[in-house]
Structure 1
Amino acid sequence: MRRLLIGLTALAVLAPLTACGSSDSPGGRRDDGTVAITVGVIPIVDVAPLYLGEKQGFYRDRGIDLTLRTAQGGAAIVPGVISGQFQFGFSNVTSLMIARSHKVPVRAVANGGASTGEDGADVGGITVGKDSAVKTAKDLAGRKVAVNTLKNIGDTSVRQSVRKAGGDPDRVTFVELAFDQMAAALDSGQVDAAWAVEPALSTIKGRGGRVIASNFVDVAPDLTVALYFTSVPYERSNPELVENFRAATKESLAYATAHPDEVREILTTYTRIPEATRRAMTLPHWPQEPNRASIEVLAALGTEDGLFTSAPDLDELLP
C-alpha cells in the first residue's frame, strides 16, 4: 500500500516494459477514424481476455486502436491512468478502493477477473511446503505468511481465511515477496506459508506444495478480484469511447471464457510461463459484470484492517 500511496502522491510515470498493438501516441484519432488508447496491464493470466479481444478485432470494430503496456504492478498503473500515460488500467479491487478513499478520481468501467468460487480449485490460495506441519489456516497464527503487497487484498483475504478457520488473524506476520519468489521462500523456510496466484500457485504445487485454504473463496462466493478502470475526468470527456471500451471488454471476457485453449496459447505472447505450467494452471473466471456483493465484503474487511482513510464509496467507484 505504501508504494501505491507514494505513486498517487507523485503521479509517477512508469516506463512501459512491453507493448501489444499500436505504438503511436495514445488518445488521438487516427486517419482511419479509430481512436488510439493505451491500457496499463500486469503480465498475468487475468488480462488474457484483452489480448484475445485485440487479436479478434473486438476493439477495432468499435473504433478503438488498442495498445496494451505491461507494468510491474498495479500500484504504478493507478497514477499512470491519473497522469494520462494510460487511458485505462487494470488493478485489483482493494487497490482501487484505497485510491478512492484518498479521493483519487478513479472509476471502474469493466470487470477484470474473478475467483472460480471453488475451494481448493481457485486461481489463488494459501500454500505451504510439502513437509509443513501447517494443516489449516488456523495454524497460521504465530507464523510468517508471504503476500505480494502488504496491506492489500492478499493479507486482508488471508486474515479472513484464518478467522473462518477459528484462528487469530492478528497473530499472523505478513512478509512482502514477489509471487515468483514464493516457491523458493517456502522451500528454504524463509516463510511458513505463502499466498500465491497463478502461475506461481501451480509452480508451488508442482514442487510438492499444498493449498491449505482458498482465501478468495473464504471472502465471498465468486469474488470479484480485479477491474478495468479509468479516471473520472477522462470518462466525462470521452463517454462514447469509454462505453465502446466497456462493450469490447465484455465481449473479450465472454470470448476468453468460451475459449480456454486460446487463453493458454496467447499467454506465450506476453509472459514467460513454462508450457507445463500453462497447461496445468487454473484459469480465472471472467464474468461480464462485477459482483458488487462480494466487493462490499472486501470493503468491510479492508475497513476492519485499517486500509482506508475513509470508507470507499462504491457508488462512485463501480460502473
Structure 2
Amino acid sequence: MPATPTRTTTSRRQFLALLGISAAAVSCGTATASGGSGGAQLKKLKYQGAVGAVTLPELAADLGYLGDVTLDWVGNTISGPQDIQSAATGQTHFGGAFNGAVVKLAASKAPIKAVVSYYGSDQYTYGGYYVLEDSPIRSARDLIGKKVGMNTLGAHYQALLDIYLSRNGLSKAEAAKVEPLVIPPVNTEQALRQKQIEVAVLSGVLRDKALATGGIRPLFSDFELLGAFSAGTYVMTQRFIKENPDTVRTFTTGVAKAIEWARATPREEVIARMTAIVKKRGRNEDTSTLQYWHSYGVAEEGGRIEDKEFQIWLDWLGERGDIKKGQLKAADLYSNEFNGYRKGA
C-alpha cells in the first residue's frame, strides 16, 4: 500500500509492483491453483482468513453449504489487494477485495473474474467519516486543506471521499487540496482526538467504540452517499474456473446461501455461530469483537453481482488516470453463472 497520497497514473508494471507480483507470476503462477489431471476437479480450496473474524466461505462451510468442497486455511490476509494477488498467482484458489482493486488488477491483464459479492455497506454496516464534536467542519468545502485518515489509499475510502467532494461541487483543483493519509485503523480514533488529522474514517468495532466514547460526530458515510451497495467480491482465475466449474458453482452458491442465512437469522444467533467457529479452529483468537458484528452489508440477493458495482469504480479510476477510460467493461469483470441466486436461476 502507498504510504503517501498520490494521483499519478499507475502503469501495469507499477501496479503489479505495488501488489508485490510480476507479470510472469500472474501469467504462469495460476498453474498451482488448477484442478487435478485427467479432468478431476479440485475440491480443496486454499484461502486466507482474518484474525478473530469469520469469512463467508468459513460460515458456509460450517453450515454445510459447501458440500464436498473443503477449505484449506493457509494464513491470514493483510489486505484485499494482497488477497487477490495470492489468488492471481495461484498461492490460493480465491481471494476477496474492494471492487476497485479488482478493476486495477484486471486492467493489469491478470486473468481473474469475480464470482460473488462478499461485503458492502448498509444501514448497519458502513464506513463513516467523523470529525470532533467541536470541529468547524460542516461541509465538503470545509475539507479543503484538511487531513483525512483512512486505512489505505487508492481504495474504497479514498474513492468515496473523492465522490463526496465531487458531488458537493468541489473542482478537481480544490479536491486535490484535501489530503488523505494512511493511518492504521487501530490508531485512527486516537489521531483524530489528538488533532493530528481533522477527519477519521471509522467502521465496524472501531467506529462503535469511538461513538460510545463520545466527542465525535459524523460528516457523512458511504451508505448515506451511495445507499446500500456491495463493495467487494471474491475472485478466481479464469483458468481455475474453466477447469473446475462444478467446484466454483458449489463454492459460489454456498457463499450465497451463507449470505442469505446471515440476513435471515437473528443477529445474536449469527454471532453465537461465529464465536463457536472461531473457538473451534483453535488459533488462540480473541472473539470479543464479534459482538459488534451487524451484517455483511451485501446488497443483492445471494451476493449476485451487478454492473453498477464495478462501473462506479471504473469511472473513478478512469478519472484519476489509474486506468484508461473505456479500457474495461463492467460486464467482463464478473460472472453470475455459478451463483444459484442469479437472475432466472
CA spacing shift, 1:74–1:249, aligned 2, 3 Å = same
User: Which residue number corresponds to residue 71 of structure 2?
Assistant: 66
User: Which residue number corresponds to residue 120 of structure 2?
Assistant: 114
CA spacing shift, 1:66–1:210, aligned 2, 3 Å = same
Q: Secondary structure of 1:174's partner?
A: strand
User: Which residue number corresponds to residue 12 of structure 2?
Assistant: none
**Larger CA deviation: 153-162 vs 126-135:** 126-135
- Mapped to 1, the partners of 2:140 and 2:288 lie a distance apart of 30
Q: Determine if contact 1:113/1:285 at 8 Å carries over to the other structure.
A: yes
Q: Secondary structure of 1:199's partner?
A: helix
In the alignment, structure 1 segments of 5+ residues that lack a partner are: 14-24
Deviations, residues 89-142 of structure 1 (Å, cap 9, x unaligned): 1111111001011111111011112211x4xx5421111233322223332221
The correspondence for 1:285, drawn from 297, 300, 304, is 297
CA spacing shift, 1:90–1:279, aligned 2, 3 Å = same
Kindly indicate whether residue 223 of structure 2 is the aligned counterpart of residue 207 of structure 1: no
The correspondence for 2:138, drawn from 135, 139, 143, is 135
User: Which residue number corresponds to residue 228 of structure 1?
Assistant: 234
- Mapped to 1, the partners of 2:24 and 2:76 lie a distance apart of 15
* Matching of residues 54-203 of structure 1 within 5 Å: 54-59=61-66, 61=67, 63-68=68-73, 69-116=75-122, 118=123, 122-167=125-170, 168-203=174-209
CA spacing shift, 1:263–1:210, aligned 2, 3 Å = farther
- Mapped to 1, the partners of 2:137 and 2:51 lie a distance apart of 31
Q: Determine if contact 2:44/2:72 at 8 Å carries over to the other structure.
A: yes
Kindly indicate whether residue 47 of structure 2 is the aligned counterpart of residue 39 of structure 1: yes
What TM-score does the superposition give when structure 2 sets the normalisation length?
0.76
**Larger CA deviation: 49-58 vs 132-141:** 132-141
1:115 partner amino acid: S
User: Which residue number corresponds to residue 6 of structure 2?
Assistant: none
User: Which residue number corresponds to residue 320 of structure 2?
Assistant: 305
Q: Determine if contact 1:127/1:212 at 8 Å carries over to the other structure.
A: yes
Q: Determine if contact 1:114/1:224 at 8 Å carries over to the other structure.
A: yes
Q: Secondary structure of 2:312's partner?
A: helix
Deviations, residues 272-294 of structure 1 (Å, cap 9, x unaligned): 4645xx54564332331123224
Over aligned residue pairs, what C-alpha RMSD do you find?
2.9
User: Which residue number corresponds to residue 5 of structure 1?
Assistant: 16
User: Which residue number corresponds to residue 19 of structure 1?
Assistant: none
Deviations, residues 78-97 of structure 1 (Å, cap 9, x unaligned): 22112211101111111100
User: Which residue number corresponds to residue 53 of structure 1?
Assistant: 60
1:150 partner amino acid: L
CA spacing shift, 1:281–1:249, aligned 2, 3 Å = closer
Deviations, residues 185-218 of structure 1 (Å, cap 9, x unaligned): 1111111112222122223222322221013542
- Mapped to 2, the partners of 1:140 and 1:283 lie a distance apart of 30
User: Which residue number corresponds to residue 296 of structure 1?
Assistant: 311
In the alignment, structure 2 segments of 5+ residues that lack a partner are: 4-14, 26-31, 336-345
Q: Determine if contact 1:123/1:282 at 8 Å carries over to the other structure.
A: no
Kindly indicate whether residue 321 of structure 2 is the aligned counterpart of residue 315 of structure 1: no
What TM-score does the superposition give when structure 1 sets the normalisation length?
0.81
Q: Secondary structure of 1:307's partner?
A: coil
- Mapped to 1, the partners of 2:268 and 2:42 lie a distance apart of 30
2:331 partner amino acid: D
User: What is the aligned-residue identity percentage?
Assistant: 19
- Mapped to 2, the partners of 1:104 and 1:26 lie a distance apart of 14
Q: Secondary structure of 2:129's partner?
A: strand
Shift in Å at residue 223 of structure 1? Answer: 2.0
Higher Rg: 2
- Mapped to 2, the partners of 1:197 and 1:44 lie a distance apart of 16
